[in-house]
Every structure is written in C-alpha cells, then in structure tokens.
Amino acid sequence: MSISDSQKPAQFSLTTPLYYVNGLPHVGSAYTTMAADALARFYRLRGNDVLLITGTDEHGQKIQRTAEQLHRDPQAHCDEVAEGFQDLWQRLNIHYDRFSRTTSDLHAQIVKEFFLRVWEKGDIYLGQQQGWYCVECEEFKEERDLLSEKRCPIHTNRAVEWRDEQNYFFRLSRYQQALQDHYANSPQFLQPDIRRNEILNFVSQGLQDFSISRVNLDWGIPVPNDPKHTLYVWFDALLGYITALLEPDAEPTLENALKNWWPIDLHLIGKDILRFHGVYWPAMLMSAELPLPKAIFGHGFLTKDGQKMGKSQGNTLDPFDLVDRYGADAVRYYFLKEIAFGRDGDFNETRFIDILNADLANDLGNLLNRTLKMAVKYCEGKVPAIDPQAMPQDWSLVQLAQGAGEKASEAYSVLSFSIACEVALSLVRIGNKFIDEQAPWSRYKAGEIETVNQILYAVLESVRLAAYLLAPIVPNLSTKIYQQLGYSVDFNDLGEPTSLKLLKEHDRWGCLPPRQTFGQPEPIFQKLMAPSLDLEP
RNA sequence: AGCGGGAUAGAGCAGUGGCAGCUCGUCAGCCUCAUAAGUUGAAGGUCGAAGGUUCGAGUCCUUCUCCCGCUACCA
C-alpha cells in the first residue's frame, strides 16, 4: 500500500462555508474553520497537497441595508467585515489557501458561465412566486407558520405581505431520483449518519423547484439574460467554492477553475445549511454536468452554559475575546477535543479552564518539563544515547506508543478530532504513571544509568509522538515541544517541502535521535486563570 | 402530528445480554524528577418512569414522561 516516491502526492481539497458578512464572525464560524484547519494540517503533515478554501458571501439585501444604515458603500462594508474574518483566522492560526469572496469580478464570471450552462440544460425557467412575504426576514413564509392576523413568527409585530412576483426557478424536482441514487451509491456523501437520515427523509418526500432570483434586489449578480433580476443566494454563494479554485492569473472560466482541484473532497459546514449543500448543490452540479464533491459533513451547534446562543438572548460567545484571553491553541483544543465532532457541544468557561489546565499544563506540559529537566541533569542535556529498538518490549508505554500513530491517523481521517486527542493524551497519562513507577530519580542515585537512559528516552519519545499527533490541533504547543527536544521544526511552517519531508515518518515510535541536544526546558503551557470576579481589595 | 437523536456519579461522556466505566471536579494517603505538577485510593449512580422477555437487562420488547433536531428557500 506504500506510495512510490515518483508519484505526485495525493491531493485533498476542503472548504468551510463562505460566511455571510452580516456581522463579524461568531464562534460557530470559528468552530467550522478551526476544524477545517486541523484537518488540512493533518493532511499536509501526511505529505498530501492540500487546498483549504474559506471566504465570505457578501451579497443580499440585508448587507445592502446594513451598509445603508452605516451610511456606507456596501462594498466598503463588505471589505471591512471580510477583513474582520481574516483577522480572526489569523489570530486562531488558521492556514487557508484561498479566501473566496462573492463580490470579486472573477466570481461574477464563473457564476454567469455556470448559470448559462444550467440554462441551456433547460433547468431554469421564469415562474411566478406567490406567497406571504416577510420584509424583515426577506423570506416567503408558509401560511401555517404565521401567527394570528398574518404576523411573522419572528417579527411578531409585522404583518406579512402578499407577494406575487416573477422569479427564476431551478428545476430541482427533476433531480430527485438522481440524488437518491447518488445517496444510495455513495454512503459517505452525507455525514454524519444522523444528518444523512434527515436529508434522505427530506428528499423522499418529494422536491420542489426553488427560486434563484429576486426582483427588488440591487446588491448582487444580475441574472445573465435578464438583468432586471438578481441572483439570490444559492446560484451565487455556492459557486464561490468553484471561483476559489482559479489559479491567481488564470482566466475566469469554469474550465480553468475545475482543472486542478475539482471535485472538492470535503465541504465542512454547520448542520443548518446541510440541505443546501446536500440537495441543492449536487443537483445544480448534476445539471451543469460536473462531478460532485466527495463528501459533505455537517457538524453540530454550540451552546453556552447549556443555553442556545443568540444576540437576542445576550449570551453570545465572542471568538475574538476568547482567543485574545486564552490563545489560539487553547481555544482550538477545547472545541476539537471536548466536543465530539458532528454532535452538538457546550462551552463552559470553568470547564474550559479545567480541561486545558489538566490536559495541556499538568499532564502534557509538566510531563515534558519534569522529564526534560531530569535528562538535562542525568544525560548532559542530550537525548539519551540508547538504541530505541532495544527498549524493553514489555513496557506498556512503548507498546502503547507503537500503535498510537495509526490510531490517531484513523481518527483524523474520519474527523474524530476528539479521539485523535485522546490517543495522544493516553500516551501522556501512561507516561506519567510510567515515570512514577520507574522513579528514574531513585535509579539515578542507585547508579542505574543505563536504565535511567532508557526510561527517559521512552518518555521523551512518547511526548514527542503526542506532540506530533496533536500538531494539527495545537500547532504552537507542538512546536514548542519539538524545539525543547532539540528540533528546529515549526509546525506552522509546513509550506516548505524540506520540513514536510523531515516529518513524514514522525508518526512512528523511535524517531527521536539519540544525542540530539535539547533546547531550554521551560513550561510550554502556562496555566489559565479564571477571570477574576473578586471585587474585594 | 410524522420521522430521527437523546436521558448513565456534581459536570461532560463511553458502555447492543454476564461484577456500572472514562475524563474533569471533590476528599484523603504516597512520591519529591516536575508548571502547588505526578501517583494511589475514596466518596459519589435505584443507568428518565412503568411493565415484559431472560438463569441474568444500562443493553432486547411494550407503553409513558421530558429535552433536542428535521418536516422547503433559515447565506
């Protein structure tokens, strides 16, 4: 199963949603993006060519209105918010390859070409959209959802209006069978299973065509053959994934965009937009006769202290504030380790602090620190000069470490970030027990130098392996560990082919080179303090 | 209303027929290499309720309660 060196490295492309720029990013967007970044880092470490796409969706009446309220040009408003997203991604140590914006000129070209392709297929037609319309929501409402006196259930003091307007529609109904066949033939297409079930259920009830244009909308891309209409959401935003694939100097054509990276391996999204990615999008692509993405994963939602977050509830969790107070590694670790990816999860600050201090400071950080300081004293500041292969094979730590790389790799491949972390943490926990049992400090006093060397090597190598396996989640921390062990590696600098090569075998036990000189031992993760609510002097 | 998910220790979770477990937190003993870290042990559970199948049920069946998601245009 080994890949020969002459072959091109396997490619892996993935996307986050293109986030709506109605406001600065919330923690849910950050969650998706952190997961995407961790996965991208995992594949890069494996030696794959990776393309991580994120970006912003910038059209729509809500944006236009928000800009107007701020007495600002809509584009200027979008620029500023998009910059806010990029700023947060930088703070969270996200390494994306493309940032796709739906207001870019390139995008308009791609949208036009795609639209015409579907148009020529006969899947777009002018129809009549009738229904109760809430101006605030910008949505047509089902009559059964309305409150008394035809009031919108969200904007309870506003009555909905009867609208009867011409819109363009996409013939989604035509693709029901093809979609169902695809779901059946590609069980990995919709993940996790619970979301797949929802979609299967939904599609089996029959599909209606959906409208893809609006008439009273200026801020957007005009319908190519009828500029009185403006494209609405899905025939705009979803295509941003394709626009993102254009090489920097390429002509904006579908052919150029799809040349290298299509189809996308994974669309990572929140569960709220699964239908659009799992039903609308593949149907649109089928209509355009393009290959479908390999998989779509809808992750769960976050609550805060068990409560749904929302501006109206006033209990939002600000990702900027979180990362500023605790750092990127801490935030990434909490969300990816403490929440089973795919399920809903909760943020609780006390728990956040407890978990980080226990796992990263006490267990991992302190294990490195105590072992390294012994090695500095007992082994002249170098990795003990022993043969890693000649280690006592009955040591539980060694046995565990030998299987850890593969286990973690399997976990990452199925987006089980939490399990990948547990694999690394189990090495650390067993390492702490092992060092207590073996008590190298006593053995050193008793003159058992050879055994001390073996013990310290085994523990340091386990910490190295744990750091390597955690690198997609906590790259800064892993870098610190590697540097204290004497490497000059930076896990944030993996664009370099040389460093990639260097690390390719590092998921295996026994890499740590004997006699390598250590860096300065110092705590890699300072304990977090709870915010002080103490008002007394 | 229909479909699906969930209810197990103070918190978060694992556990598809055989002694109820893991992590965090709490309390106590041990160690002294270490970031007041580590380690060992303890306390803490009538496994949502009731009934049934079985030698044996957290696990299978039936009924019920509560919570959550989906049931079409929520970026």
| A211: pLDDT strictly greater than 50 | yes
Do the domain assignments include residue A476?
yes
Do the domain assignments include residue A509?
no
Cβ A292 vs Cβ A59: under 8 Å = no
Beta-bridged to residue A133, according to DSSP, are A140, A161
The pLDDT, as a whole number, for residue A91 is 97
ipTM greater than 0.90: yes
Which residues in A105-123 are b (16+ Cβ under 10 Å) and which e?
ebbbbbbbbbbebbbeeeb
Cβ A44 vs Cβ A50: under 8 Å = yes
How does residue A73 score in pLDDT terms, banded at 50, 70 and 90? very high
Q: Is the CB of A172 under 7 A from strand B?
A: yes
Token pair, residue A111, equals 């949208």
How far apart, in Å, are the Cα atoms of A205 and each of A148, A177, A208, A236?
28, 12, 10, 26
Mean pLDDT of A498-503: 64
The pLDDT, as a whole number, for residue A393 is 82
Q: Is the CB of A33 under 7 A from strand B?
A: no
Q: Is the CB of A155 under 7 A from strand B?
A: no
State the residue range of the domain holding A488. Answer: 348-503
The pLDDT, as a whole number, for residue A13 is 97
Contacts of range A107-112, beta carbons closer than 8 Å, 24 or more positions apart? A107/A221, A107/A239, A107/A240, A107/A243, A107/A252, A108/A221, A109/A252, A109/A253, A110/A239, A110/A242, A110/A243, A110/A246, A110/A252, A110/A253, A110/A254, A110/A257, A111/A221, A111/A231, A111/A235, A111/A236, A111/A239, A111/A243, A112/A221, A112/A224
Residue A150 burial class via C-beta count within 10 angstroms: exposed 0-12, middle 13-18, buried 19 and up: middle
Q: Is the CB of A429 under 7 A from strand B?
A: yes
Q: Is the CB of A150 under 7 A from strand B?
A: no
The pLDDT, as a whole number, for residue A3 is 38
| A6: pLDDT strictly greater than 60 | no
Say how far A208 CA is from B14 C1', in Å. Answer: 42
Residues A415 and A341: their CA atoms lie apart, in Å, by 7
Cβ A367 vs Cβ A485: under 8 Å = no
Mean pLDDT of A89-111: 96
Cβ A241 vs Cβ A264: under 8 Å = yes
User: What is chain A's Cα-based Rg?
Assistant: 27
* pLDDT tens digit sequence for A331-367: 999 999 999 999 999 999 999 999 999 999 999 999 9
Do the domain assignments include residue A13?
no
How does residue A153 score in pLDDT terms, banded at 50, 70 and 90? low
Do the domain assignments include residue A24?
no
Task: Write out the H or E segment, with its range, that includes residue A205.
Answer: none
Strand order in the sheet with A226-231: A213-214, A226-231, A222-223
In this prediction, what percent of chain A has a pLDDT beyond 90? 77
**Which of A137-146, A407-416, A528-537 has the weakest average pLDDT?**
A528-537
Cis, bond preceding A263 (omega within 30 deg of 0): yes
Q: Is the CB of A523 under 7 A from strand B?
A: yes
| A2: pLDDT strictly greater than 60 | no
Placement of tokens 């600065």 in the chain: A24
Do the domain assignments include residue A489?
yes
Average predicted confidence (pLDDT) for chain A: 90
* pLDDT tens digit sequence for A432-470: 999 999 999 999 999 999 999 999 999 999 999 999 999
Say how far A241 CA is from B75 C1', in Å. Answer: 13
Greatest alpha-carbon pair distance for chain A in Å reads 91
Placement of tokens 């500041």 in the chain: A381
More confident of the two residues A430 and A160: A430
CATH code for position A464:
1.10.730.10
| A497: pLDDT strictly greater than 60 | no
The pLDDT, as a whole number, for residue A67 is 92
Chain B: bases < 7 Å from a protein Cβ? 2-5, 11-14, 23-25, 31-35, 37-40, 68-75
Nearest nt (C1') from A429 Cα? B38
Of A15, A25, A19, A3, the residue nearest A51 (C-alpha): A15
Number of folded domains that form chain A: 1
| A21: pLDDT strictly greater than 60 | yes
Of A40, A38, A47, the residue nearest A500 (C-alpha): A47
Say how far A363 CA is from B21 C1', in Å. Answer: 21
Nearest nt (C1') from A434 Cα? B39
The CA-based angle A354-A359-A360, given to 5 degrees, is: 105
How does residue A148 score in pLDDT terms, banded at 50, 70 and 90? low
Q: Is the CB of A271 under 7 A from strand B?
A: yes
Nearest nt (C1') from A63 Cα? B75
How does residue A536 score in pLDDT terms, banded at 50, 70 and 90? very low
Highest mean pLDDT: which of A209-223, A275-289, A494-508? A275-289
The pLDDT, as a whole number, for residue A411 is 94
The pLDDT, as a whole number, for residue A144 is 64
* pLDDT tens digit sequence for A462-489: 999 999 999 999 999 999 999 999 999 9
Contacts of range A430-437, beta carbons closer than 8 Å, 24 or more positions apart? A430/A396, A430/A397, A430/A400, A430/A462, A431/A367, A431/A371, A431/A397, A431/A459, A431/A462, A431/A463, A431/A466, A432/A363, A432/A367, A434/A395, A434/A396, A434/A397, A434/A458, A434/A459, A435/A367, A435/A370, A435/A371, A435/A459
**Nearest protein residue, CA measured to C1' of B36:** A362
Per DSSP bridges, beta strands A161-170 and A124-134 are antiparallel
More confident of the two residues A313 and A346: A346
Q: Is the CB of A262 under 7 A from strand B?
A: no
**Backbone phi and psi for residue A380, each to the nearest 5 degrees, phi listed first:** 60, 35
Q: Is the CB of A435 under 7 A from strand B?
A: yes
Counting every residue written for chain A, the total comes to 537
Mean pLDDT of A255-260: 95
Say how far A149 CA is from B44 C1', in Å. Answer: 55
Do the domain assignments include residue A498?
yes
Do the domain assignments include residue A460?
yes
The pLDDT, as a whole number, for residue A457 is 97
